[in-house]
Structure formats: structure tokens, C-alpha cells
Chain A
Amino acid sequence: MRFRFTQFAVDTYSARRELLDLGAGGYVSFEGWVRDNNEGLEVTRLEYEAFQELGVKEGERIIGDALQRFPIKHALCIHRVGSLELSDMAVWVGVSSAHRGEAFDACHFIIDEVKHRVPIWKKEHYRNGDSGWVNCERCAGAPVHAHEHA
């Protein structure tokens, strides 16, 4: 599986090994971390929930799209679910390719598509005691994809 969910901390060392290729001259990765603020509110922790059965299908399609669109060797994305603390890694994307340019481009493409297409929801807990599902409550009425949060 080139897209998967995990309840545990992402093992980037193992994940990176899945991208090894004798024809690859480079590797680019992206880590999304839990930040302590969002839209003016102090965030203390997060919960991620996913519709995993559809999520892995859509995630696989995104990796497939990246492999068609960019001349890369391998790509992999791992997304956390469950409860996360500040600075925890929420998502990891890795891409290997012959040359660096396409690896950077594909990595950027994959994280953007994952944020927009994969059925994952994020509940933020705030210092002031409130909590809310991002894009569903505080942004209610706003068009989907109107906000970027990484």
C-alpha cells in the first residue's frame, strides 16, 4: 500500500527504505506537524479521524496520479489517526526519483491532494477549553478547500 493510516508514530526510517531504488538519485520528504496555533487560537492537541476504507483507495489514487504526472521512482504517504500532541507528526510523504526536481514537485502535489481529497477530519482542542472540527464548525458556510492548515 502506497497510502496508509497508522495509530502510532510514523517510523520514517522504515518508510524511507520503501522508496529505495538503484535508479534514484534523490529523495524528498514532507512532514506535517501539529502546530500550537490556528487562525488566532492556541491549539493544545488534535484528534484525527478517517473513513479509512475509502481513504486508502483515494490515497492510492493520488499516489497513482503522482506517478503518472511526474517521472518519479516511488512515492508513499502515511497519515496518523487518533490523538496527537503538539509537534507530533500528523502526516509523512516521501518520493524518490532520478533527479531532485520531480521529487520536490511530486511531494508537493501529493500533500496538497491528500489535504483536499482524502476523507480525514481534524478536531482541534484549544487553550480556552473550546474544540472544533476544522472546516466544519469555525469555517461553517465557507467553501470546501477555502482554508489551508499545514
Chain B
Amino acid sequence: MQLKIHYYALMREQAGRSEETLETFAATPEDLYGELTARYGFTLAREQLKVAVNSEFSDWARPLSSGDAVVFIPPVAGG
């Protein structure tokens, strides 16, 4: 399955890229975060993040489909 991942802020710096297309067997955003943390060493715990799929907030257990765009959302700090 092919997924598009966009990275922002701290996670963009830690991944060393702002986006990538990834071939993966990760069934859910939760699985995907585990896979990417093993690859990039993300320091934020899963519990500190939210996740968006196709530009809308998503459940961590939502089944992913090929072509989905995933964004992990670190703790926000607007204003």
C-alpha cells in the first residue's frame, strides 16, 4: 500500500523532509507512527500527537487505504 506522509515542525526536522511517498504494510495511523518512529527516531510519544488522514482529524485505529495522505500533529502552539 502506498501512503503520502507530510511532516511539520519538529517532526519535519527529525524526519529530514517535509513529505514522502511510502510503501508500507501499516494498517492504521498507530502502526504507521511506530514504523516511522523506528526509522526516524521521533522523540514525541504517540500520546502527545493527533493524526489527520486526508486533511481531517482521524482516529488512530482507522484503517488506512492506498493513496491516503497522513499527517502527524505535534502539540500545537498558535497565538
Contact = CB atoms under 8 A, between A and B. Distances in A.
Contacts of B48: 136, 140-141, 144
Interface residue range, chain B:
20 to 34
Given A49-B9, A54-B71, A118 B76 contact: yes
A34 B71 CA distance: 27
Interface in B27-79: 43-45, 48, 50, 52, 55-57, 71, 73-79
Nearest to B44: A136
Interface residue range, chain A:
35 or more
Contacts of B55: 53-54, 57
Nearest to B45: A141
Interface of A: 32, 48-51, 53-54, 57-58, 79, 90-91, 111, 114-123, 133-137, 139-141, 144-145, 149-150
